[in-house]
Amino acid sequence: MATERLVVVGGDAAGMSAASQAKRRNPGLDIIVFERGSHTSYSA
């Protein structure tokens, strides 16, 4: 079976919150976040 994958564009507050929430709800989910800058939000 193919692994489910979530792609998030933007790694600041909203993007990393969405990625974290998705991982909590589905730990097997493969998540990739694209961030054009050199830093991401790390609190989430």
- Which positions lie near ligand FAD, rule CB under 6 A? 9-15, 34-37
Distance separating alpha carbons of residues 4 and 21, to the nearest angstrom: 15
Q: Which residue has the tokens 């609190």?
A: 43
Q: Residue 1 CB, nearest distance to ligand FAD (Å)?
A: 29
Using the minimum distance from each CB to ligand FAD, give the nearer residue, 10 or 31: 10
Using the minimum distance from each CB to ligand FAD, give the nearer residue, 6 or 10: 10
If phi over 0 gives left and psi between -120 and 50 gives alpha, with beta otherwise, what is residue 20? Answer: alpha
Using the minimum distance from each CB to ligand FAD, give the nearer residue, 4 or 7: 7
